[in-house]
Amino acid sequence: MEVDIRPIYKRIWDFLGSRDLSVFIFVMGMTYFLILAIFGIVAPLPSVTNISKLLPYKVLYILFFINLLICEIKWIPVIIRRCRKPRPPETADEMARFRDKIVVSGQWSVASGLEKYLRRRGYKIQGSGVSGQGSENPSLLAPRSSLLLYAYKGRFSPIGNLLFHISFLFLLIGVGLSIFYRFDGTLLVAEGQGISGEDAEYISSTETEYASPPDISFKVEKITPAFWKDMLLFTDLKADMSFDEGKGRGAIRLSQPLRIAGARVTITGIGITPLYILKDDQGMELARSYVNLSIFLPGSEGDFQILDSPYRVRVSFYPDFELKDGKGSTRSMNPVNPTFEVMVSKNWKRVFKGFLKPDEEARFDDLSLSFPEFKYNGIFRVVYDRGFVFIWTGFILMIAGLAWRLVVYRKEIVIWEEEGKVSLSGRSDYYQNLFVSELRSLPKYGLFDLSTIPEKV
């Protein structure tokens, strides 16, 4: 039994960067996520999220990160070695990597256009005999043989592997930042209103362990909804915005977020912000204010307290009002006949209920209440995810690495003379059969003709 005499730290290092551990992590990861999928069917999402944060999952994430990092450290020297300038084959053993030997008729000459053709296709030319003379050297390939031409391309194709594996590090960093620093909040902001930095009042928010609201400032200039026919179905919902103290301007749509101070801001819905005016019996204003209400859906209700008064108002909004069987409804979503359904209560006792148009007033207790105008407010979702950039960078590197490896792959061509016969062969990292077809078309660029005596060994 052979005893491993290496220091223990080297054995631990090799184990943590081994493929065996990679396979184990992969199998355990599939098992763990299968468990999450099963729980996702029978349990609510918050419970599944809490399960994914338990200690076994954290240990798996840490092992995956360590294994990936050590594998990358081990891979870098290998990639550097593979990117070195290749050498022409010098022995029969080195020729073993070339397959599909093709023997051609005729005599070799560099006066042909083959060399120029290969250079135009991106090949680099090197090797003995490229000057057309050939060199007799018993150490070359085999006795009584001489190398005529060696060409290669795709020398740096292994970099694609490196980019692909590095992409996982970016993905892992991005996911980690999202887990601990992601903020997702909802704001209700009306036309002409704005928010300023950390003073923004979020109506709802989801914060991770170390997250905090982003320091963003913007102002909503105008909200423009467009509806399909007369139904409550948006064909477009646009919000014109200004930010950075008016220096920046942009537009937000349902599927088109705007990036402000590193946060993505999206509009998800709209509401109504009416202006109410409370007057006494002499016509003197007692209170005036805009109130943001989520009452865009016909029949939905919102309520507010009148400033410095015991009165509470419940409001519904109908953009194109009509009365059916004593109940309010709307013909369309376009504000052609806007009407408010209002109920006013004092100390939980109702003092008024009815329908009000913008030019009408509700009278109660020697007071009058009106809603002379309204504007839209937007429901804005603010997502501040520090891992977003890393995740997208990881995906870009992954695609670039795959494209690099599969498109810019290594090809080699060797032409040599042996016992009076000229032969050519080649190897390709991928698509070898397709590459053979390319090889068989090469002799037409020389002074020999493959069609005369084709032979494939």
Task: Give the pLDDT mean for 221-241.
Answer: 80
Most confident of 53-67, 139-153, 266-280: 266-280
Position 336: which residue type?
V
Instruction: Write out the E strands in 357-402.
Output: 361-364, 367-384
Taking phi over 0 as left and psi of -120 to 50 as alpha, with beta for the rest, 372 belongs to alpha
* Pairing of the two strands 327-330 and 124-126: unpaired
CB of 211 closer than 8 Å to CB of 181: yes
Task: Determine the Cα–Cα distance for residues 189 and 192; give it in Å rounded to an integer.
Answer: 9
User: In this prediction, what percent of the chain has a pLDDT beyond 90?
Assistant: 18
Residue 275 φ/ψ, nearest 5 degrees: -95, 120
Angle formed at CA 90 by CA 88 and CA 91, multiple of 5 degrees? 140
- 197 falls in which pLDDT band (50, 70, 90)? confident
Task: Determine the Cα–Cα distance for residues 362 and 364; give it in Å rounded to an integer.
Answer: 7
Taking phi over 0 as left and psi of -120 to 50 as alpha, with beta for the rest, 106 belongs to left
What is the per-residue pLDDT for 231? Answer: 64
Residue 348 has pLDDT above 50, yes or no: yes
What's the whole-number average pLDDT of the chain?
Answer: 81
CB of 243 closer than 8 Å to CB of 195: no
CB of 172 closer than 8 Å to CB of 390: no
Angle at which helices 8-16 and 55-82 cross, to 10°? 90
- 350 falls in which pLDDT band (50, 70, 90)? very high
What is the per-residue pLDDT for 136? Answer: 41
What is the per-residue pLDDT for 454? Answer: 40
Kindly report which listed range (21-30, 95-104, 107-116) carries the lowest average pLDDT score.
107-116
Q: Please give the radius of gyration of the chain, using alpha carbons only, rounded to the nearest integer.
A: 37
Task: Determine the Cα–Cα distance for residues 276 and 307; give it in Å rounded to an integer.
Answer: 11
Q: Residue written as tokens 């015991």?
A: 310
Kindly report which listed range (13-27, 141-155, 426-440) carries the lowest average pLDDT score.
141-155
Residue 109 has pLDDT above 70, yes or no: no
What is the per-residue pLDDT for 457? Answer: 39
CB of 204 closer than 8 Å to CB of 294: no
Residue 133 has pLDDT above 90, yes or no: no
Quick count: other Cβ atoms within 10 Å of Cβ 426? 22
Handedness of CA 140, 141, 144, 146 (dihedral sign): negative
Structural element, H or E, at residue 118? helix 114-120
**What are the distances in angstroms from CA 388 to CA 75, 143, 264?**
27, 61, 10
Residue 119 has pLDDT above 90, yes or no: no
Q: 287 is written with which tokens?
A: 């209170």
Longest CA–CA separation in the chain, Å:
120
Helix (H, G, I), strand (E, B) or coil at 264: strand
Task: Determine the Cα–Cα distance for residues 256 and 235; give it in Å rounded to an integer.
Answer: 13
What is the per-residue pLDDT for 355? Answer: 92
Q: Residue written as tokens 């999952």?
A: 57
Q: Which tops the pLDDT comparison, 306 or 416?
A: 306
What is the per-residue pLDDT for 117? Answer: 80
Residue 132 has pLDDT above 80, yes or no: no
CB of 370 closer than 8 Å to CB of 362: yes
Task: Determine the Cα–Cα distance for residues 394 and 91; give it in Å rounded to an integer.
Answer: 42
Nearest partner of 118 among 406, 409, 413, 410, judged by Cα: 413
Q: 107 is written with which tokens?
A: 């005599």
- 435 falls in which pLDDT band (50, 70, 90)? confident
- 16 falls in which pLDDT band (50, 70, 90)? confident
Q: Residue written as tokens 């070695």?
A: 81
Question: pLDDT digit string (tens) for 157-182?
Answer: 888 888 888 898 898 888 888 878 88
Q: What is the DSSP letter of 253?
A: B
Handedness of CA 238, 256, 194, 303 (dihedral sign): positive
Q: 429 is written with which tokens?
A: 């990292």
Task: Give the pLDDT mean for 143-170.
Answer: 83
Half-sphere CA count of 348, side-chain side, radius 13 A: 0
Instruction: Tell me the whole-structure pTM to 2 decimals.
Output: 0.64
Helix (H, G, I), strand (E, B) or coil at 354: strand
Residue 333 has pLDDT above 50, yes or no: yes
Half-sphere CA count of 267, side-chain side, radius 13 A: 27
CB of 335 closer than 8 Å to CB of 244: no
Question: pLDDT digit string (tens) for 201-227?
Answer: 888 777 666 778 888 889 999 998 887
Task: Determine the Cα–Cα distance for residues 402 and 400; give it in Å rounded to an integer.
Answer: 6
Residue 20 φ/ψ, nearest 5 degrees: -60, -45
Beta-carbon contacts of residue 364 (< 8 Å; ≥ 6 apart): 344, 351, 352
**What are the distances in angstroms from CA 86 to CA 126, 174, 386, 407, 412?**
10, 37, 43, 19, 9
